[in-house]
Structure 1
Amino acid sequence: MYDATSPAGFTCPDLNKFARLDELGLEVTGQRLEPDRAVLACRVVEPDQWCRRCGCEGRARDTVTRRLAHEPLGWRPTMLVVTVRRYRCTGCGHVWRQDTSLAAEPRAKLSRRGLRWALEAIVCQHLTVARVAEGLDVAWNTANDAVLAEGKRVLINDTTRLDRVRVIGVDEHLWRHTRRGDKYVTVIIDLTAIREGTGTARLLDMIQGRSKQAFKTWLAERPEAWRERVEVVAMDGFTGFKTAASEELPDAVAVMDPFHVVRLAGDALHRCRRRVQQAIHGNRGRKEDPLYRARRTLHTGADLLTGKQTDRLTALFADEQHVEVEATWGIYQRMIAAYREQDRRRGRELMVNLIESVSHGVPKTLTEIITLGRTLKKREDDLLAYFDRPGTSNGPTEAINGRLEHLRGSALGFRNLTNYVARSLLEAGGFRPPLHPRS
């Protein structure tokens, strides 16, 4: 039977390996435990006594200390007090200090292990900068500046980040709730891995504004070879994105997302219900009004209705005054059925028939269906392109928008768009800090 208290399988305690200081070229010489943190006294392992100017051997002159915030051990902030020896050249008199670049960047306040821990905490664990700063026992600005600088170096400035992009999604995003200033940005998402089934969507970029010109400018700034490789652009019903994609990506196919198409039909049904409500009762819906009571049931797919909901709709449509609502509801259900059809060829046929039926011969009283028909006819190619390209949807774009909403809520809002873009790229840009195995 294995005895955990026996020496077998255990080695002598090694604080250098436990604190991962051997990766940083440091060696522990002492420790001090304080109520709120641990302090490790360290020295640089490599002597580095040769002059960098003339190559002569240097003579030890004195020492200086460098304080670095290290990754917390047991969530107790850990501070490294590194003793750095200075040398004077016996030939030219040049003075230099031991190289500590393995431990930290020049003038940095975080060790490389501390910086890696901060990136993992923000990207993988979704912690706030305030929580990371608390774990490192540094100021908020110190942690934020270090994380953003490292994220920019390894992700934002990576020239190969856009190389394999073939399918993109575009959507608007509300990044702040203020009365003044531009509140919207345009997000561009890489959907290539989703279509190929090899991974998840990732945020490519975020640009200020939500206009055709904003998206068009971003596309124009990309290399021509990259634009030629883009095959599909998934989007919502905003014609500005459609026009920009057509002008800058003439060979790419625009795909209108099913979520937004169904939403158009749902909005038409909602407006029709409200119009009929006003025409019959002369007021907005009240809890005792049949149309108001059925407002949520009307937007439920026919195949998901319970027995009680079916009876409610049957009673609702039995009233001839609700015939316009019933007609609009039928169009809404036909659209849902087309998208839920397992056979994409059959689903495409259902959608083609639906577009044709709402584009001609609709009674003038069904104003909502007439408006819907014009939109569907205008974007018919974009709607039908969804059935020809399995796996192409703007749904992952909406999912990333949701992650960014959570990010903004965790941070209690952002005031600086540059910081928000950088944090968003770390959160949803597909970045994963390198995880080194524990020694």
Structure 2
Amino acid sequence: MLNATFDDCDLTKFCRLDELGLEATGQRLDLGQAVLACRVVEPDDWCHRCGSQGTPRGTAIRRLAHEPLGWRPTTLHITVRRYRCADCAHVWRQDTTAAAEPKAKISRRALRWALEALVLQHLTIARVAESLAVRWNTANDAVLAEGKRVLIDDPTRFANVTAIGVDEHVWRHTRRGDKYVTVIIDLTPLRAGVGPARLLDMVEGRSKQVFKTWLAERDQSWRDNVEVVAMDGFTGFKTATEEELPEATTVMDPFHVVRLAGDALERCRRRVQQQVHGHRGRKDDPLYKARRTLLTGADLLTEKQYSRIQDVFDTDDHVEVETTWAFYQHMVAAYREPDRTKGKTMMQTLITKLGRAVPTKLTELIVLGRTLKKRAADILAYFDRPGTSNGPTEAICECGD
């Protein structure tokens, strides 16, 4: 940095006011707030009615919350000039729509900051409102309107969609109203390797009819263009897809398939725990101590973890857990196999084995086998269509939390 050179201080560029059509004319730093005096760059002195040049008729101050500078909430004091037309007597003010929507209390840069804070930094609306020095309702209404403008009202968001993902998400943790929403995302960029998945829509409710109605609202050309639909094990989504997108391939993604096997392993562990020890798992019980390690992929286990599992399986009382664990690990290995053709064969073999005569004591594997056999085509379809995992849908749902 010895030979570094610096431009003159430019408050306008530093605070990104030039993006709003503004120019900084002064600043005031208080203990808990920064105030920037600004003016509109464009004079806007021509009559909007007759086109004659207007004459200045005083000024007004428009106050907008701006993105915070450091930890200080920042407010813009924009000097807006009034004009009057001598020919038609029309009176108007300089246009400030580049800085904010009419009657808005938050600048466009502040809205952008608020959206990034919510989505990327997981800040709450209360924290955003505090950082902008506005009321909670003001911040919430502005963020919802901007999100709707950017996401929902974008006329191109449904263009060129060939693969979608659908999942449900718990949106409301209260007794009133439907607590679920159905989330639909565009997997096309991910599948093509050109970008991340995109949120298409969130619809209140979780049922076959909710998803079917959403699909029916799309035009026929859009529906004909969809080739793949990734989903979880909920049969309602599959049925809706078959009825509205008969030519599309349904794919049950690895996240939910592995979770089915993991849930079966957990139920088996709890059942054996009760049968052997007569109580729920306690911190010193071998099965309980190994509960997380059992759900870890075998190729990721440390020597200590693998030794702990072997100690658990050394007793004949835990043979049912060992058998269920082995099927779980075979499933994980199939998805982690770099050769997709080989991985598909491994998965097909697993489904076939579970579909045959499984000992009656292994109740969890019997239930798992029935589910896998019923959805075998959807499970195996994943191996033929890279990039159709529903993982991005899960990620978007988690961000919503």
TM-score tier after normalising by the smaller chain length: 0.7 to 0.9
Say which of 212, 216, 225 aligns to 1:216.
212
Matches of 2:310 and 2:270, distance apart in 1: 19
Greater mean alpha carbon deviation, residues 239-248 or residues 299-308: 299-308
Per-residue deviation, 1:380: 0.8
Per-residue deviation, 1:148: 2.7
Give the letter for the 1:95 counterpart. Answer: V
What does residue 161 of structure 2 align with?
A: 165
Give the letter for the 2:394 counterpart. Answer: E
Greater mean alpha carbon deviation, residues 131-140 or residues 394-403: 131-140
What does residue 408 of structure 1 align with?
A: none
What does residue 411 of structure 1 align with?
A: none
Matches of 1:285 and 1:29, distance apart in 2: 68
Give the letter for the 2:396 counterpart. Answer: I
Which stretches in structure 1 are left out of the alignment for 5+ residues? 406-439
Say which of 166, 169, 174 aligns to 2:170.
174
Q: Give the CA RMSD over aligned residues.
A: 3.1
Greater mean alpha carbon deviation, residues 230-239 or residues 364-373: 364-373
Matches of 1:277 and 1:150, distance apart in 2: 52
**Could you say what secondary structure the match of 2:260 adopts?**
helix
Query: Is 1:393 aligned to residue 377 of structure 2?
Result: no
Structure 2 CA distance for partners of 1:84 and 1:284, relative to 1, 3 Å? closer
Say which of 332, 357, 360 aligns to 1:361.
357
Aligned pairs for 1:397-436 within 5 A? 397-405=393-401
What does residue 376 of structure 2 align with?
A: 380
What does residue 145 of structure 2 align with?
A: 149
Say which of 170, 181, 184 aligns to 1:185.
181
Give the letter for the 1:147 counterpart. Answer: V
What does residue 99 of structure 1 align with?
A: 95
1:380-415 per-position Cα deviation (integer Å, ceiling 9, x unaligned): 10111111122321222222222222xxxxxxxxxx
Per-residue deviation, 1:376: 1.2
Greater mean alpha carbon deviation, residues 259-268 or residues 155-164: 259-268
Tell me which of the two structures has the higher relative contact order, counting C-alpha pairs closer than 8 angstroms and 6 or more residues apart: 1
Aligned pairs for 1:33-432 within 5 A? 33-123=29-119, 125-286=121-282, 289-314=285-310, 316-405=312-401
Greater mean alpha carbon deviation, residues 113-122 or residues 215-224: 113-122
Per-residue deviation, 1:205: 1.5
Structure 2 CA distance for partners of 1:2 and 1:166, relative to 1, 3 Å? same
**Could you say what secondary structure the match of 1:91 adopts?**
coil
**Could you say what secondary structure the match of 2:216 adopts?**
helix
Matches of 1:385 and 1:77, distance apart in 2: 52
Which stretches in structure 2 are left out of the alignment for 5+ residues? none
Give the letter for the 1:98 counterpart. Answer: Q
Matches of 1:124 and 1:282, distance apart in 2: 46
Identity %: 71
Per-residue deviation, 1:159: 1.2
Paired residues, number:
401
Give the letter for the 1:105 counterpart. Answer: E
Structure 2 CA distance for partners of 1:32 and 1:164, relative to 1, 3 Å? same
Give the letter for the 2:212 counterpart. Answer: K
Structure 2 CA distance for partners of 1:97 and 1:213, relative to 1, 3 Å? same
Matches of 1:307 and 1:391, distance apart in 2: 33
Per-residue deviation, 1:253: 1.1
